[in-house]
Amino acid sequence: MKSIRLILFALILLPVCAWADGFDDLMVAMRIGQAQGVTKFFNNNVELTLLDNEGIYSKLQAEQMLKSFFAQHPPKSVNIQHRGSSAQGAKYAIAVYEATNGKFRTYIFMKDNGNGLQVNEFRIERE
């Protein structure tokens, strides 16, 4: 049953992914709890805060930490509360990540590091 729901969810999101930029693809990956899909947009080193763990981590370390977070807090929904961009082309968003066991405020900051937009800062904190 869970697999069927995941497939249906992916099919519903498929048209969205066709026109989405990297930021929107990252949000889709969060909605389905796919750590690898989230971290594919990370810079090689990212400032990461997951609840009480805070530091600068490699993309691989960040993926493992996110995988653990998603396992402990499976996603129900992710709703963007605010998003914007700077004159220099950086993008940011504030979203509410609702898990089966609570709500979390998520902050994402992306900027062009010469290889397109990449996440430099990613935070998930209890709401």
- Give the domains, in start order, of the chain with CATH numbers: 2-126 (3.10.450.50)
Instruction: Give 26-52 pLDDT, tens digit per residue.
Output: 889 999 999 999 999 999 999 999 999
Q: What integer pLDDT is reported at residue 15 of this predicted model?
A: 41
Rounded CA-CA distance 47/56 in Å is 4
pLDDT in tens, 44-82: 999 999 999 999 999 999 999 999 999 999 999 999 999
Distance of CA 15 to the CA centre of its chain: 19
End-to-end CA distance of the chain: 30
The two three-digit tokens of residue 74, written as one number: 């499976």
pTM summary value = 0.80
Report which DSSP code applies to 114.
S
